Structures are given as structure tokens and as C-alpha cells.
């Protein structure tokens, strides 16, 4: 029996106005139909914005304690349901059950963090050159559009929905069409926690229709998006100048290994950053720069380590890497492996397992790939792949490491493996990346720390996560002069 899911608009679960649907399938077994979801269009978006516009002023008028209590309850519900939802996440997106559980359990922490921020939305008082009292207060921006990616469909959404609601806004939420069930589950949790029924709208559908309708609407006061640079650029170009926008986009992240680094530590750091989450993380390691004396040994060790990774369905016992999330991603990764060979690179791995293993014949499985001996001008070295493919090249100095790490249009995350403190301090100061990791993978960030990149990785209007700094995006500051 096919499960049919609905939008949530103006306090009601309802199909798309046009009546059309799209399929959601398991990337580990494309025969497995998860369900049908509304294929929404501009009419659904208009209704969603209208409903949220009418609802948010009453939410903004509530005390911060009321808003915080809803988020605290949502955290408790999410904590209870984490394992159940993680199983659904693995089925829908493909990541291993361990990775899915880590993400699902993190949502409770996200909601608790922003529940606390609801209680800390402080204004300030200012010295005045007159008898007036000058002060400021924070107010919500109004209707916030939240557009999230498929690779972290729970955590990316929670770190946008949480602060938006804590600040007193209403939300029009458009999850990725690749992971629509996770978007629905988050809305269900918030409603169960007591969120006013019309305050959040869930609009499922394709980005080409729903996303464009959202950006074209004059009823959106702020928009937050995480995804590719190409889509982010389109969003920025189509929004009204009155709409504040936060864009977190791609990355071509490097791990730098200096000559004093322990090989075991370096290999483990690279492997986790490059092949964890099937390489489908915006902060994933895509390039490795290794001190020349360590180069040959590190490449050999990394090739051996990558070849030993067990690939398969995320639910299966002992699996370390799941499938790619879509057929599009699968074809893209294989195409880049072919490009690496055409460009003269040495490629170990990168083969299509669905053709090689009958147990994997219906999923989007590839073996992780290590590519060496590529020129720095190669496409594989310069373009974002978003899959388990890592390119390695030697370096002869810290100066060269900084230059090559920064020689990309992106500037999201970079990692340095070394025990030399002066090199760490210099690298951290000079590199043009928003996140600098030392002796740890490019992936994995603290939920209370600011997250964001430089250059084409972000529009740098506001950080995407963290504490008080995030609330600047979701609230407006108003100055008030009180005379006698």
C-alpha cells in the first residue's frame, strides 16, 4: 500500500492544490518506494505565506518563556523518537544507521540551544547627550522562508527552524525533495510540542517550482538557504531588495598534512573527512596537501584504508559507507572518476558497485576513490564533487600549503594536521576559510559555534548556527528614545 503524504498549510494537512505528487525512493534499493509527496507549485506557496503571515504576530506577542517551552518540549519529543526517525533517515537518504542516529539525536540539542536563546534576546541601553533614555529592543522579522538540503535534512532544518521560532517569527519550510519525509517529521514534532498550528507551513515539492515561487514572493521577509552555489546565486538574484537573505553554499575543502604529522593520525583524519557520510557533506575533505617526504607513504596508506571500507545499505551490520543519495549524484561521481583518469591521475577505487555486486544492484553504491598525481589545474582538483572522492598532491612548504588550500573559489572548511604550534597559528590566521580545524577532520562542528564560509561558500550576511550571533539574522533591532 503506497503511503501518500501531505503539505501542512494554514493549520491543515492537505494535498498540493494541483493534485500532483512525486516519488520518494530508498537510494540503497530504488525498488523501495517510501511514499508519494505533494508536487507543489506557486498556489501552494502563496497559501502557505498567507497563513503564516496571519499567524506570526500572535506568536511574537507571546512571552519568551512560552516560545522557549515549545522548543524544550520539541527537544524532549525528538530525543524520545530519535532512533525511530534515524531509521527512516537511513532509508530515505542512505547514510549509515550510526550516522543517522548521530544526526537525529543532535536535533534535541539544537532545539534546547535555541530555546535558551529565546530567553536571551536582550536589548541594550545607551548613554545619551540629552535627558532622554535611549534603548534598543529586538523584534522578529516576520515570515522566514527556510530552504534546506538533503544531506543533513534534520540538523540543517533544526538549526534554522529553531532560531527563527525562538525569535518570534513564522516559518515557510521547504525541505529538499530528496528527503521530504524528514521535513514532515520535524514539523510533526513541533506541532506535538504545542507550536501554534498556523505558525509553520510545510510545502513539499521541486526547487524549480516551490523555491522559485518563494523567492518571487513579496510576502517573505527573510530567507535562509543551504545548498549549491549555483542555486544560491539564483536565489540572491531573484529576491526583493527588502528581503534579508542568508546563503551557505559549496566547498572544496582541503586537509593539509605537514612533515611532522603522525601518518596514522593523518590517514584517520582524511578518511573520516572524505568518506564519512559517503562524502556528501559541504565540509567534506575533497583535497589533500601532503608534505613531500610523507607523500608516497600517506597515499599508499590512504589507498589501503579506503579499499577496506565496507560499502552497503546503511541498515546492514558493519557497513561503514552507504549509497549516494540519488541517481544524479551516482552518475556525477562516476563521471568525475572518469575525468580523473582522462586527466592522467592515478585512481584507486571509484568503481560502480551496483554493477559488480548483485547484493547492491538496486542502489547507488560506489567504492571510495583516492586520486593522486593530478595537476592543480585539473577539474577534479578544482570542482566540487560531493561524493567519496579525494585528490592528493605533495607540497614543499607551509607557504605552498596555504596558497594551494586557498586556490579555490570556495572558502568553507580546511584542516591542518601537525604538532607545530607556530605553523598552526600562522595557518589559522592566513587561510581564507570560515572554519579552520586542527588535527581533526574538516567535517564535524559544534552546534553552538558560528558556522559559515568565505568567498563562494557563503554570502556572509550572517552565520548559520551558533548562539547569539545567529539571532541577529532572525530579529530586527529597534532603537527607542524615551523623553521626559
Q: Render pLDDT for 133-142 as a digit per residue (tens, 0 to 9).
A: 999 999 999 9
Answer yes or no: are the C-beta atoms of 181 and 24 closer than 8 Å: yes
As a whole number of angstroms, the distance between CA 231 and CA 211 comes to 10
- Tell me how far apart the alpha carbons of residues 241 and 261 are, in angstroms, rounded to a whole number: 49
Q: What's the average model confidence in pLDDT over 199-209?
A: 96
From the list 92, 93, 177, 248, the catalytic residue is 248
Residue range 142-180, pLDDT digits in tens: 999 999 999 999 999 999 999 999 999 999 999 999 999
**Distance separating alpha carbons of residues 168 and 384, to the nearest angstrom:** 37
| Structure confidence at residue 453 (pLDDT) | 96
DSSP lists the bridge partners of residue 435 as 413
Residues 6+ apart with CB under 8 A from 296: none
d(CA 378, CA 416): 23
Helix, strand, coil percentages for the chain (3-state, nearest 5): 40, 20, 35
Average pLDDT over residues 387-407: 98
What is the C-alpha to C-alpha distance for residues 65 and 87, in angstroms, rounded to an integer? Answer: 33
Q: Are 18 and 39 in contact (CB under 8 A)?
A: yes
pLDDT given for residue 468 in this prediction: 74
Every domain of the chain with CATH number 3.40.309.10 lies at 253-438
Q: Hey, how many other C-beta atoms are within 10 angstroms of the C-beta on 199?
A: 22
Contact (CB, 8 A) for 164 and 118:
no
Please, what is the angle between helix 180-192 and helix 155-166, to 10°?
40
Residue 361 has pLDDT above 90, yes or no: yes
* 36 burial via Cβ count (<10 Å: 0-12, 13-18, 19+): middle
Q: What is the pLDDT of residues 331-349, one digit of tens each?
A: 999 999 999 999 999 999 9
Count of CB atoms situated within 10 Å of the CB of 186: 24
- The number of beta carbons lying within 10 Å of the beta carbon of residue 341 is 13
How far is Cα 45 from Cα 307, in angstroms, rounded to an integer? 46
Q: What is the CA 298 to chain-centroid distance, rounded?
A: 30
Whether residue 318 contacts residue 22, with contact meaning beta carbons closer than 8 Å, is answered with no
Per-residue confidence band for 465, with pLDDT thresholds at 50, 70 and 90: confident
Q: Please report the pLDDT score of residue 469 as a whole number.
A: 77
Q: What is the pLDDT of residue 462?
A: 86
Q: Which range is least confidently modeled, 19-28, 48-57, 235-244?
A: 235-244
Q: What is the pLDDT of the chain when averaged over all its residues?
A: 96
- pLDDT above 80 for 114: yes
Model pLDDT, residue 345: 95
> Can 248 be counted among the known catalytic residues?
yes
Q: Which helix (H) or strand (E) holds 26?
A: strand 21-26
Other C-beta atoms lying within 10 Å of the C-beta of residue 76: 15
Distances from the Cα of 266 to the Cα of 272, 290, 435, 441, 474, angstroms: 10, 9, 18, 9, 39
The answer to whether 327 and 364 are in contact (CB under 8 A) is yes
Residue 325 phi/psi, 5-degree rounding, is -75, -25
List where CATH 3.40.605.10 sits in the chain: 7-249+458-482
- Tell me: pLDDT of 39 over 90: yes
Q: Give me the mean pLDDT over the 457-482 stretch.
A: 90
**Grid cell listed for 15:** 494535498
User: Quick one: pLDDT at residue 421?
Assistant: 98
pLDDT-based confidence at 289, cuts 50/70/90? very high
Q: Which residues contact 412 (CB under 8 A, 6 or more apart)?
A: 250, 251, 253, 282, 283, 433, 434, 435, 453, 454, 457, 458
Cα 314 to Cα 26, 56, 182, 328, distances in angstroms: 11, 39, 16, 19
What's the topology of domain 7-249+458-482?
Answer: Aldehyde Dehydrogenase; Chain A, domain 1 (3.40.605)
Averaged pLDDT for residues 273-295? 98
SS3 category, 340: helix
| Phi, psi (degrees; rounded to nearest 5) at 310 | -85, 120
Question: Which residue stretches of 62-179 are H helix?
Answer: 64-93, 97-118, 155-166
Residues 169 and 61: beta-carbon distance below 8 Å: no
Domain 253-438: assigned CATH number: 3.40.309.10
At residue 357 the predicted structure's pLDDT band, cuts being 50, 70 and 90, is confident
Amino acid at each position: 500500500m503506497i503511503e501518500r503524504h501531505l503539505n501542512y498549510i494554514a493549520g491543515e494537512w492537505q494535498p498540493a492544490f494541483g493534485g500532483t505528487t512525486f516519488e520518494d525512493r530508498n537510494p540503497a534499493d530504488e525498488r523501495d518506494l517510501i511514499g508519494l509527496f505533494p508536487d507543489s507549485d506557486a498556489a501552494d506557496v502563496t497559501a502557505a505565506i498567507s497563513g503564516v503571515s496571519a499567524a506570526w504576530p500572535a506568536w511574537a506577542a507571546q512571552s519568551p518563556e512560552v516560545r522557549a517551552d515549545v522548543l524544550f518540549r520539541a527537544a524532549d519529543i525528538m530525543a524520545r523518537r530519535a532512533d525511530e526517525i534515524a531509521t527512516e533517515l537511513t532509508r530515505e537518504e542512505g547514510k549509515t544507521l550510526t550516522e543517522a542516529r548521530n544526526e537525529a539525536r543532535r536535533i534535541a540539542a539544537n532545539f534546547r540551544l535555541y530555546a535558551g536563546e529565546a530567553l536571551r534576546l536582550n536589548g541594550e541601553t545607551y548613554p545619551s547627550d540629552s535627558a532622554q533614555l535611549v534603548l534598543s529592543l529586538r523584534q522578529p522579522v516576520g515570515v522566514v522562508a527556510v530552504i534546506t538540503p538533503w544531506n543533513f535534512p534534520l540538523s540543517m532544518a533544526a538549526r534554522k527552524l529553531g532560531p527563527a521560532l525562538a525569535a518570534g517569527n513564522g516559518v515557510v519550510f521547504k525541505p529538499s525533495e530528496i528527503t521530504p519525509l524528514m521535513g514532515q517529521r520535524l514539523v510533526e514534532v513541533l506541532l506535538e510540542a504545542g507550536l501554534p498550528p498556523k505558525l509553520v507551513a510545510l510545502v513539499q515539492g521541486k526547487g524549480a517550482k516551490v523555491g522559485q515561487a518563494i523567492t518571487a514572493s513579496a510576502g517573505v521577509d527573510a530567507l535562509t538557504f543551504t545548498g549549491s552555489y549555483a542555486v544560491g546565486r539564483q536565489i540572491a538574484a531573484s529576491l526583493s531588495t527588502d528581503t534579508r537573505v542568508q546563503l551557505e553554499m559549496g566547498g572544496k575543502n582541503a586537509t593539509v598534512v605537514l612533515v611532522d604529522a603522525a601518518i596514522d593520525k593523518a590517514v584517520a583524519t582524511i578518511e573520516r573527512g572524505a568518506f564519512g557520510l559517503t562524502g556528501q557533506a559541504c565540509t567534506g575533505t575533497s583535497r589533500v596537501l601532503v608534505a613531500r617526504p610523507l607523500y608516497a607513504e600517506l597515499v599508499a596508506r590512504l589507498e589501503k584504508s579506503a579499499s577496506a571500507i565496507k560499502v552497503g545499505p546503511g541498515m546492514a551490520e558493519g557497513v561503514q559507507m552507504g549509497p549516494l543519495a540519488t541517481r544524479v549524484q551516482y552518475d556525477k561521481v562516476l563521471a568525475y572518476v572518469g575525468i580523473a583518469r582522462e586527466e592522467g591521475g592515478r585512481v584507486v577505487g571509484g568503481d560502480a558497485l551496483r554493477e559488480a555486486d548483485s547484493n547492491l544492484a538496486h542502489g547507488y553504491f560506489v567504492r571510495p576513490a583516492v586520486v593522486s598525481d593530478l595537476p592543480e589545474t585539473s577539474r577534479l582538483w578544482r570542482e566540487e564533487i560531493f561524493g567519496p572522492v579525494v585528490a592528493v598532491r605533495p607540497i614543499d612548504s607551509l607557504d605552498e600549503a596555504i596558497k594551494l588550500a586557498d586556490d579555490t573559489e570556495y572558502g568553507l572548511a580546511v584542516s591542518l594536521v601537525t604538532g607545530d604550534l607556530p605553523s598552526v597559528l600562522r595557518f589559522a590566521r592566513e587561510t581564507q576559510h570560515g572554519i579552520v580545524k586542527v588535527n581533526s577532520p574538516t567535517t564535524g562542528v559544534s552546534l553552538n559555534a558560528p558556522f559559515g564560509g568565505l568567498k563562494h561558500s557563503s554570502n556572509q550576511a550572517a552565520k548559520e548556527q551558533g548562539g547569539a550571533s545567529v539571532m541577529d539574522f532572525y530579529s530586527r533591532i529597534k532603537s527607542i528614545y524615551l523623553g521626559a
